[in-house]
Amino acid sequence: MNLIPPDTTLSGTPKTRSSRAATKAQEAALPAAPAPGVASVSQLSAKLTEYLTASELKKVKEAYRFSDEMHLGQVRKSGEPYISHPIAVAEICADWKLDAQAIMAALLHDVMEDQDVKKDELIERFGAPVASLVDGLSKLEKIEFQTLIEAQAENFRKMLLAMASDVRVILIKLADRLHNMRTLEHMTPAKKRRIASETMEVYVPIAHRLGLNNIYRELQDLAFSHLYPVRYRTLSKAVKAARGNRREVVKKILESVKNTLAIAELPAEVYGREKTLYGIYKKMRSKHLSFSQVLDVYGFRVVVDSFANCYVALGTLHGLYKPMPGKFKDYIAIRKLNGYQSLHTTLIGPYGTPVEFQIRTQEMHRTAESGVAAHWLYKNGESNLSDLQQKTHAWLQSLLDIQQQTGDSAEFLEHVKVDLFPDSVYVFTPKSKIIALPRGATALDFAYTIHTGIGDHTVSVKINNEAASLRTELRNGDIVEIVTNPDSKPSPTWLAFVRTGKARSAIRHHLRTINLNESVELGRELLAQALTALNIQPDLPEPTVEKLLNESSAKSMDELYADIGIGKRMAALVARHIFGLVDDDLVSLPANPHATPGELDPVTIYGSEGVSVQLAPCCLPIPGDQIIGQLRRDQGLIVHTSDCASAKRLRGKEPDRWISVQWGGELNRRFDCRIRLLINNEKGILARVAAEIGESDANISYVGMDEDEEHVMTQLRFTIQIKDRVHLAHLIRNLRRVVGVTRVERERN
């Protein structure tokens, strides 16, 4: 059965359509001859006929006709009829053998966004499942966003959440992005770079996470070609030249491997493969190599008939060529997060050239190339899910968990992008369950991966049965045990070292909700100071408050104050917004429209505020230091010393987030401070130093030491608790008098 009847125009539109003028306009816009690679209705029809039933084909045909009608007269930048794009997307989906609903959604994916078709109309014509897929794929262009970044973030949030309920959404979206990238040459250079950058940052990692390696590699190369066109062309020429130079080597290896496997009576398919241009470029950048130094541009894949024969083939190849030490990876025993399974080994081939081999079964090969597209989450019940499906399902569900704990779309996208990096480490629970985490993940990330409640109440950790810090980075094979306490709560300092999106969103959620009162008070004080600087009375009348809440999307003034207190909104910007809303009688003096955050009255710091006001761990300010405050998103006010190197570096990036602060008069607490001593390596010196610190009325909270190679001098590092700068000066004078102490100084970042 043909999808499209023979009596059609070049665009696929029936000739009997009543709108003749529109048809002529569309035909006039067509190129004289179809460009190479232009989507073909007949090709799509042939692919669908292979696996869809007659009734399903009829529904797809209806979706095609509706899409063609909606896009009539619309053309792409290349001059092709716009309908060629939905057909191309549907054709990519047909290669994955997606079901009729997904093909219909692919054909209709732009009608809501471009032609203002309502979801209700799609439900009535094609059913709720198809309408939901199209809705998940449509951008939110009717909503006004403050910035392009915010709009993009909200679009991604909606798409990823739709994907969490039905993975077909992201598969169609990836097909859409792939075709757009294939036809990107007609865009302006600026738009090419923006779309290519977005593809590399978000869509490439998603394709990798879902195991769609063919799409992953093609998107990478396409994005690379538009981000760095000169590098791409140069590298492409070098690879073409290398093909001729290395053809004999590749042929010799291929013949040797096939003969060796045949002698061992191992049925196998062997074929060479070439690294992608982006893969070669990435290796050159990361290892600082020239192209001529990248020897493994070519690799080989061995596909065998059974699981056991993977290891037999490995042994056979190791007998043919010598393996390189440390270059063997068993992704069959411990598969990657995206379900990928293969044995990887690098051998020393002819002429001393390193050659990589991947060994896998046919089933592993299908999963490696098509990933989750080969295993439908929506066809079977959860009880029938394969291991790959369960892992993908768990990751999709984690998106919903992050969404529930995230304040806004930009933050949600930030967390998700963190989890999309492909490099992973594999660690074990005490009961030998394997947990996969992003490379660089810490013991605290492990706790939050197990359960949010465990992460929130973590107090300590054991790694390989030895006590370790919560910030310890995990390595492959570590056995991790978490110790919890019901009274323990997340600390804002945890945000400085956790790696996973789930951990970051959970900690931020806790800080937002548990410390709300403190954030509200800080926000109220900051806004009052900003209003005073603009000569506006801080007590706003009810009509002004109502206008402000309507325009700021906050539900109450306390919510607005809390947002300011945790750094989500800037007090100075809110004050300027209020300035445009207030009546003249609320402004006591002529306003200064050029007032900046630095001109506001300083915020008074007493050192015991808690979570919404924190002393920066990089410089550990103490009373008497000149200080400055940084409003950080979801962390509140961070107080630095004025000469802190980190603060100086950060002020150049976000100057509007810095405010003046000062110490209060009554400070009834002690403050951490780091000091460093250089001492002679002699008997009893540590005891004398510790005793002097105690006699100077200071407490020791940490001590560390580093010896020189000749064991003559030792550097001692203390974290001590003191009252203020005067107390510190007194302590340093006393320590300098201790026999054996050569130098004493306050340690800076």
Check: CB of residue 673 under 8 Å from CB of residue 746: yes
The b/e string for 359-398 (b: 16+ C-beta within 10 A; e otherwise) is bbbeebbebbbbbbbbbbbeeeeeeebeebbebbbebbeb
Matching residue, tokens 């440390």? 326
Residue whose tokens read 């013949």: 255
CA-to-CA distance for 404 and 513, rounded, in angstroms?
13
The Cα–Cα gap between 328 and 345 comes to 4
**Long-range contacts formed by 153-160: CB under 8 A, 24+ apart:** 153/408, 153/409, 153/410, 153/412, 153/413, 154/409, 156/202, 156/409, 156/412, 156/413, 156/416, 157/403, 157/409, 157/412, 157/413, 160/399, 160/412, 160/416
Q: How far apart are CA 743 and CA 370, in angstroms?
A: 64
Q: How far is the CA of 97 from the CAs of 141, 375, 390, in angstroms?
A: 31, 11, 21
d(Cα 566, Cα 515) in Å, to the nearest integer?
10
3-state SS class at 587: strand
DSSP 8-state assignment for residue 474: P
| SS3 assignment, position 348 | strand
Active-site amino acid positions = 113-114
Nearest 5°: the CA angle 56, 61, 67 is: 130
CB 602 within 8 A of CB 532: no
Strand order in the sheet with 466-468: 466-468, 458-463, 480-484
**Host H or E run for residue 645:** helix 645-651
Cα Rg, the chain, nearest whole Å: 32
658: closest CA among 675, 674, 642? 642
Helix locations, 480-602, DSSP H: 501-514, 516-533, 542-552, 557-565, 571-579
Please answer whether residues 235 and 291 qualify as being in contact, where contact means their C-beta atoms are separated by less than 8 angstroms.
yes
Exposure class string for 697-730: b at 16+ Cβ within 10 A, else e: ebeeeeeeeeeeeeeeebebebbbbbbbbebbee
C-alpha to C-alpha distance for 663 and 168, rounded to whole angstroms: 57
- What is the rounded distance in angstroms from the CA atom of residue 592 to the CA atom of residue 110? 49
Strand 343-348, strand 354-361: pairing: antiparallel
% helix, strand, coil for the chain, step of 5 = 50, 15, 30
Q: Parallel, antiparallel, or unpaired for β 434-438 and 424-428?
A: antiparallel
Element (H, E) at 133: helix 128-137
- Distances from the Cα of 513 to the Cα of 401, 506, 516, 563, 565, angstroms: 16, 11, 5, 11, 12
